[in-house]
Structure 1
């Protein structure tokens, strides 16, 4: 059976924001490898001293594009950069480029965003909210537009625990219009000082501004063939195009990275809460499939002369039929840590997990701060600059940033995800598969650890390298037992001596 989705993208002109990001590059790769798109325009920020084409060549030379380069050496010819920036007025587009996009684009993917949890509110509003409005307005000027996909996050409404596939304007302290108006009228310093009151229960500026951006799509994108894709924490690819590909340290990836090197030893998680993680390649497939389905639904409404409803929302998290809890997530990682042990690890990799903040702080003092103090003291005695305290301060700040997402047990509605699956042909379900109901989590985490070693730690998986890593792993395991034995023996000996002096023993 033919693929309806690949037929849909044949000879299409695409416009993509966030092209240099993790998901953006994977979307580009998939389109170039399995479809016959005519052209992909990508919005890319000019950088001082670096030509736009040079930036394109740099990220297109990544190992990620090795598969498509084998089948089509001229794959770059279908990619065209457009100078612009979501943080600038009118997206920083020239008159000529705006005219080009409005005349040619048929499918738009908006995934550009500042994803930093510590981004000042004024900056996050400029990029995530105003940038989205400008792109919606641009989309409305495109007479040939067939689909508009806004990539949001499953945590855009994280202040409630049961999240449906709908918009939640009622949870916001102000509307998107009001927030953008405040951002234009008041100074950045004042807006940032007002952030705690404006965010209210939102844990950071990222989730708050993504919720505001969704409201923009809801209210101003109603007449567009639009949908909103809400993925949870995106992990490495499973198999497509490369096993375990990853290039960032967001969310759980930072936990795997820090633990794998033996630096991160304490983490706060609710082991019984659902782990909201998904493979990156599955997210790409759902992104592309949702554009196809939006276009199909819009065409049907046009034939039947039905008024456009609100944009469809796709929540994307592990399903109730095949969940993964944080406790199981940790078990998978712990049981496989020896398979891809790093030659660069500084200590035996172990991770103590608790959901109690007081216990967490105690463990931090014992397993992070005290060793950091000893190492920094040793460095000072050698005349070197101490650095461990600074490193752990950064680690602890990162842990606190992701804590709300590791201890809250959300429930997500996923009816639209299932409807989309049912609309896809068997061929499309194979080529653009994203069914988490049948994902083998054990195999997936094995793939993720492989990718962590190869793409983040930059260590090969040759027999020699793996054997060397395993030897280091075994040596550090013995040393870890020895240190724990000594650390426990000293206070035990002191207690025994005290009891002996008191003639209790």
Structure 2
């Protein structure tokens, strides 16, 4: 069966950046499993003491490719790593590799990015903004280019609460080209010092440099068949290629992991705010579908020479008709975790919420730090390395950094994405699903926690009964501790009540004592 999207990718050469990241792996796997691509090139940088060949060999052993290799044992032979680095001038490409890309590539999927919220501005600009310009320059040299998908983020314009599928240059304090000029001429120290003034209302360097990258696309890629894909908060895969597959502990994933571990108990999150969560495999499907869609709509048949449309923007977020709040998501996650616990848990998982900054700081002392010091002390007595307090500092920092996105509800318009979905054939919808309106959240969270148990905690199902017994013991200890706290609290109230009552009685007794003052006789 050859559908419209399958026909588009048939015998095509695709160049992917960010292929070693979570979403990049899912995109490449989907390309190889569902389409008949000719070749996939992906950019790989040397990391520490590991060269490109070593990283590629480790990459091929990832669990995400297991289902693919069962169906197509030689599929990974179609993948070729290209040595390069998005933070380097010219993307770090050799002349030979650049020549190969410019003569062979039909589709670009640019997903490489630094997603660290606290990345120094000069680094974030190199990786997230300048690399986008360099990719556009490379794309303009490509002789066979039919589609260019730039992967951004749904929060690239987060100073706005209601974000449409359009560009927002008015949110930037300076144009992207000027900021990139600063990055080339100013020292990193000076640039980082003036970062707050440049960023304006943006809460971190990630969203800011992603917004700048979008403006680079708007201003410098108008003659290219290009589009922007804005995914919301990406979690584990829903169904493909492995239900619940995840390979990282970034952002919200780390919070779910910490809660399942029994470490994270107090959340600096608004439980009533809508959570803009999307499955990883849905994001890969949108990326591939948008490549087909932009190629389809780029050339207008009634004009000669061809007229290019403005770059399209596709957003994938929670559907308005099928929302979920952070409170509901945490409840679903905890309920599932209680059914399939892990042996590594250190306490009975539960979660309380606060949106008050000072109450969060105070609560962290009692919910996290005091138990953490006690746990680390026990580890030291056993001759082991303490771990919790160091982890808690990172967890608390992450909660504060995530609060701009977990503390309020964003409205994300998805008009273009919905129109693309409607334009797809029933067969393409079955192969590349991303309909958020019909996503079963309860089922999805079951798969998230199941996948987390297998792929992040790396626990086999043979340990499930042991984990359940361990969880039951922690449950009894948790309830006993709650009872002790209630008794202590009640005792404090009783002592305070008696103290106040006795003070009042003493004051009344003093007032009722016979007067010792001698009044003169009349």
Point out the more displaced range, 176-185 or 488-497: 488-497
Q: Does 1:476 align with 2:494?
A: no
CA distance in 1, matches of 2:322, 2:77: 41
Displacement, 1:376? 4.4
* Structure-2 change in CA distance of 1:306 and 1:24 (3 Å): same
CA distance in 1, matches of 2:39, 2:379: 55
Task: Please name the residue that 1:372 is paired with.
Answer: 372
Q: Does 1:357 align with 2:357?
A: yes
Task: Please name the residue that 2:54 is paired with.
Answer: 54
Q: Does 1:83 align with 2:83?
A: yes
Displacement, 1:498? 5.5
* Structure-2 change in CA distance of 1:116 and 1:440 (3 Å): same
Matches for 1:67-466 after TM superposition, within 5 Å: 67-301=67-301, 305-376=305-376, 386-460=386-460, 462=461, 464-466=462-464
Displacement, 1:20? 0.1
CA distance in 2, matches of 1:133, 1:238: 33
TM-score (norm 1): 0.96
Decide whether the 8 Å contact of 2:146 with 2:295 is kept in 1: yes
- Cα-to-partner distance string for 1:372-412 (whole Å, 9 max, x where unaligned): 23344556677776543322111111111111110121111
- Cα-to-partner distance string for 1:171-228 (whole Å, 9 max, x where unaligned): 0011110111001111001111111111111110000000000111111111110000
User: How many residue pairs align between the two structures?
Assistant: 503
Displacement, 1:57? 1.4
- Structure 2: which 5+ residue stretches go unaligned? 506-522
- Structure 1: which 5+ residue stretches go unaligned? none
Cα RMSD between the aligned structures? 1.9
Decide whether the 8 Å contact of 2:260 with 2:334 is kept in 1: no
Displacement, 1:53? 2.0
CA distance in 2, matches of 1:467, 1:29: 34
CA distance in 2, matches of 1:456, 1:8: 36
TM-score (norm 2): 0.93
CA distance in 2, matches of 1:501, 1:122: 61
CA distance in 1, matches of 2:224, 2:10: 21
3-state DSSP of counterpart to 1:314: strand
Matches for 1:35-54 after TM superposition, within 5 Å: 35-47=35-47, 49-54=49-54
Displacement, 1:147? 0.0
* Structure-2 change in CA distance of 1:501 and 1:321 (3 Å): closer
3-state DSSP of counterpart to 1:278: strand
CA distance in 2, matches of 1:337, 1:262: 10
* Structure-2 change in CA distance of 1:51 and 1:499 (3 Å): closer
Decide whether the 8 Å contact of 2:300 with 2:307 is kept in 1: no
Displacement, 1:500? 4.9
CA distance in 1, matches of 2:153, 2:498: 61
Decide whether the 8 Å contact of 1:301 with 1:308 is kept in 2: no
